A and B are shown apart, each in its own frame.
Chain A
Amino acid sequence: MIDRRFVKHFDWGLLGLTFLIVAMGLLTLYSAVTSSTAGPQKILYFKQLVWYCIGLAAMIFPLFINYKLLDRWAPVIYAMCMLLLLYVLFFGKYVAGARRWIMIGPVSIQPSELAKIAVIIILARYYSKHADIGGLNLRELFTPFVLAIIPFILIVKQPDLGTGMLLLLIAGSMTVFAKIERRSLLCIITSCTITVPLVWFFLKGYQKRRILTFLDPERDPLGAGYHIIQSKIAIGSGMISGKGFLKGTQNALAFLPEQHTDFIFSVLAEEWGFIGAFFLLCLFLIFIIWGLNIAYRCREPFGTFIAVGVTSMIFWQVFINIAMTMGLMPIVGVTLPFISYGGSSVITTMICVGLLLNISMRRFLAE
């Protein structure tokens, strides 16, 4: 199974790029957990290291298997993930007002993270079979819509609006890539303009407030409005060259809430300034383009769609998280891949990198 050709076509560049981003992430995380006594504790840093080791294994071992196997197993994977999502709603550990984790011994798993991959795979399977140049019509879009909406509802019920929204964006990106028939597109747009006010009605109070705070941050000067201001101050105070490693005052004083998860970019921007932040953003941009390139060079549709799905996942997470820290978006709890603390997120992201590597190194295989 270990063909010499695989090793020859292995994408060392992508691997290297990933390690570079991960390294930046670990450094920033280290700063975020050590600088303050009142903020997140040092042990989180070590936990993250462990997660990355596990993630490395999760990335490498599947490389021995042809990714095309996923095509056949897609429905099973999807069904299992849906069951896990259902399970967590009833039996999940209740933390801070939400049920997002399943406890297995000392380990907690977040099914919503796994659901992202499951949706990418099942949609890739569907679109690789049904896409055509004229675009998909409404009837053809019905199945993918259902496939995406089920996990969306289950996730939003936890409640976890951020991940749910992310899921829809990933599914949407893959769908747009597969092209929608013009007429159907018009239909969809009009129905969206109707459903958006409807969805507004069902949003919880704090979610409505978050969106309204974005539109007018003055509305919540003691809560979300305050977080955004502190985050902007942190980022801006980095100026061009930053305050220096471990010298970020905003994070040292634990004024940034969730500085090891949602707002970790602010920590990085404060300590490494425009130079550091710009560098990281460029790395992310290169990573995404690289992923698109893998899709480009892939010679069959299934792999192309998976690559597009995975890449869109990284893109949207990066975009939403960073836009949020800079006050361009409401705070929705989407974490920055490779950088934010979070075991399930690390594993999922590493699996995704593994998928990209897998697709890339098998691109010369005959159909």
Chain B
Amino acid sequence: MTKYLKTADQDWYKQRLVRIAFCVAGTFCLIFLRLFYLQVINGEELRRLSENNCIRLQSTDPSRGMIFDRNGIRLVDNRPAFDLNIVLKDAKSVEQTVKKLSNYINVPESELMSKIENDKTVSSYKPILLKKDIGRDTLAAIEVRKYDLPGVVVDVKPRRHYIERQTAAHLIGYLSEINANELNSGEYPGYTVGDYIGKFGIEKVFESFLQGTRGGRQVEVNVMGQVVRILKTVDAQPGKNLYLTIDLRVQKKAEALLKDVAGAVAAMDPQTGQILALASSPSFDQNIFVDGMSHEQWDALISNPLRPLENKVIQGEYPPASTFKIITAIAGLEEGVIDKDTTLYCPGYYKYGNRVYRCWKAAGHGSVNVIKALAESCDVFFYQVGQKLGIERLSMYAIASGLGSPTGIDLDHEAAGLIPTKEWKKRRTGVAWQGGETLSVAIGQGYDLATPLQMLVFASAVANGGKLLKPSILKSVYSPEGSVILESKTQLVGKLPVSKQTLEIIKEGLKEVVNNPKGTAWIAHVEGLDISGKTGTAQVVGRSIEHGLSEEKLSHRLKSHAWFVAYAPSDDPKIAVSVMIEHGGHGSSAAAPIAREIIKTYFGQDENSEPDKLKVAGHQ
């Protein structure tokens, strides 16, 4: 009953509507008042500010994080660069201003005008870049005549500076302007046109650490476009500083040793996996990517047959040659095909099927056991071990030793190498595996492919007792104020398929390689340093072994690639090295001496080093 009495009716609605109307009118009064306040009371002041759009935004680029070596020596920093801009709206009479400018800085008028014409489509308040990176002299010339040059603005921007030219270029990488694809991909939020980003190497991989945050400020400018008042500032945040694992001393030595050849050198601490040096030759000057390069320079880089832009340490895939014998030896011992004392006879050749496989030493090595076979790199010994093992077992040990897949280093474009299996060959070529091919694989020829980094990780594993470590290139990350953000940790990725006893035998063999006058790397022997290693000579052309042409007589393109992997000292090793020289000839003559010098430098035994002094300077 009461519900009926309470039912709303139109009269009740009408009452409420009247009340609402008053509320609405009241709200509008507020709006009118505010409008009046802005347009009438503050009108003049706001009109003034709108003229010439006095309130503008300027953005400040963040300072990119610096890069140091493991001891705190600076490798990459930023230097101030001065860019010359013109704001058309402020330059009263653009032609006059350009004319004056051209006189003051000795740049032809036509050049400046063409730059203006090219960029003219945008708002006339946007600064147009006339010249990048004017020197301090030009800057001085402009600054003193500032009042005669309305609309001319000099912008200070931090520019990337690679201090040591062509040192660790492939590792550190370079910057370049972000392109349209990258901007649209969504992987770079917050970046705009004109930003520089890392495109290669560490600059790219650790972009998020290195890039700081952009800042800016609200400024008031006068009729000539010059800042008269700074209203508000948001500081740019500099990027974080990276300390790499490399040792600059060793790195520079590696670069120097590779100067006239094409190849790769990499060195690592076998206990932690930290990369001590990573050099690829030929190299390039990273600064040209930042400063801007000519077409000729770019063409020269791209068309150089020695591929300077390629990081051969991780991208170069070569047959491992005799360095692979270490794996064959491990497999043979572990599978019981041979033991420490098993001897096999090498007359300089080996008959298999209806083919003759030669040993590199035409006269043969005579009776060898596994240690001597490693020391003198006897092919025939390993042909036989390989044959007995068969390709499947051989490949299994190779894959378990880290070959055939990337090491996982924090760099782009790492190649995986190749370890063939019966199934792989059938799939790839349609032809079944031939027994003779196993023999080639056993001595690291045939289908085998490995990168210098993979061999380095493997050699380190042999050195440290069987641990396959992930190569790390970043030692620590520091905030700009100096507090630690990240410290790298040793990462174990696998274990060699080898027992302690077997490893001892192997290591003895590798020691003999260098320390026995009959070892293939006797040249690398250094009094007082206990170096172990293995040479390798990878044939490039499948030339008939019958011809027996000596390396020296071959034209350069046909010369074999030279390998050498090493570590020192054999007990408690501190450094492992991997060297690969393209078309270097014999591993013993071309690669081993380089490894020797690297190791000497590391232990402070080369003529040029003053180890203590270097360690103190720049240490943070």
Chain A: residues with CB nearer than 8 A to chain B? 36-38, 131-134, 177-179, 218, 221-222, 225-226, 229-230, 232-240, 249-250, 253-255, 269-270, 273-274, 277-278, 281, 284-285, 288-289, 292, 295-296, 298-301, 304, 308, 315, 319, 322-323, 326, 328
Instruction: Determine the residue in chain B with the shortest Cβ distance to A177.
Output: B16
Residue contact A221 to B13, C-beta cutoff 8 Å: no
A227 CB to nearest chain B CB (Å): 10
Q: Which 8 A-B pairs give the minimum distances between C-beta atoms?
A: A236-B46, A237-B50, A221-B232, A239-B43, A132-B6, A236-B38, A237-B47, A222-B216
Q: How far is the CA of A236 from the CA of B27 in the complex (A)?
A: 20
Residue contact A285 to B218, C-beta cutoff 8 Å: no
Instruction: Determine the residue in chain B with the shortest Cβ distance to A134.
Output: B6
Q: How far is the CA of A178 from the CA of B12 in the complex (A)?
A: 10
Which of chain A's residues have a CB closer than 8 A to the CB of B122? 37-38
Q: How far is the CA of A267 from the CA of B24 in the complex (A)?
A: 25
Contact of A239 among B6, B28, B47, B123 (CB under 8 A): B47
Chief secondary structure at chain A's binding surface = helix
Residue contact B51 to A133, C-beta cutoff 8 Å: no
Residue contact A285 to B34, C-beta cutoff 8 Å: no
CB within 8 Å of A: which of B18-50? 18, 20-21, 24-25, 27-28, 31-32, 34-36, 38-40, 42-47, 49-50
Residue contact B21 to A218, C-beta cutoff 8 Å: no
Instruction: Determine the residue in chain B with the shortest Cβ distance to A282.
Output: B28
Q: How far is the CA of A312 from the CA of B12 in the complex (A)?
A: 19
**Most A Cβ at <10 Å: residue of B34, B45, B217:** B34
Which of chain B's residues have a CB closer than 8 A to the CB of A300? 10
Instruction: Determine the residue in chain A with the shortest Cβ distance to B3.
Output: A132
B301 at the interface (CB under 8 A from A): no
B57 at the interface (CB under 8 A from A): yes
Which of chain B's residues have a CB closer than 8 A to the CB of A273? 39
Which of chain A's residues have a CB closer than 8 A to the CB of B12? 133
**Could you list 18 further interchain pairs (A-B, Cβ under 8 angstroms) beyond the known A222-B218, A250-B53?**
A37-B121, A131-B7, A132-B3, A229-B55, A232-B46, A234-B50, A235-B38, A236-B43, A238-B39, A274-B36, A274-B39, A281-B28, A285-B24, A285-B28, A289-B24, A296-B18, A301-B13, A322-B31
Q: How far is the CA of A187 from the CA of B53 in the complex (A)?
A: 51
Contact with A along B295-320 (1 / 0, CB 8 A): 00000000000000000000000000
Which of chain A's residues have a CB closer than 8 A to the CB of B17? 177, 292, 295-296, 308
Q: How far is the CA of A226 from the CA of B53 in the complex (A)?
A: 13
CB within 8 Å of A: which of B266-310? none
Residue contact B39 to A281, C-beta cutoff 8 Å: no
B234 at the interface (CB under 8 A from A): yes
B337 CB to nearest chain A CB (Å): 61
Which of chain A's residues have a CB closer than 8 A to the CB of B8? 131-133, 178-179, 301
Q: How far is the CA of A231 from the CA of B44 in the complex (A)?
A: 15
Residue contact B21 to A277, C-beta cutoff 8 Å: no
Which of chain B's residues have a CB closer than 8 A to the CB of A235? 35, 38-39, 46
Contact of A133 among B6, B27, B31, B217 (CB under 8 A): B6
B60 CB to nearest chain A CB (Å): 10
B14 at the interface (CB under 8 A from A): yes
Instruction: Determine the residue in chain A with the shortest Cβ distance to B56.
Output: A255
B59 at the interface (CB under 8 A from A): yes
Contact of B53 among A178, A255, A274, A301 (CB under 8 A): A255
Which of chain B's residues have a CB closer than 8 A to the CB of A284? 28
Residue contact B13 to A304, C-beta cutoff 8 Å: yes
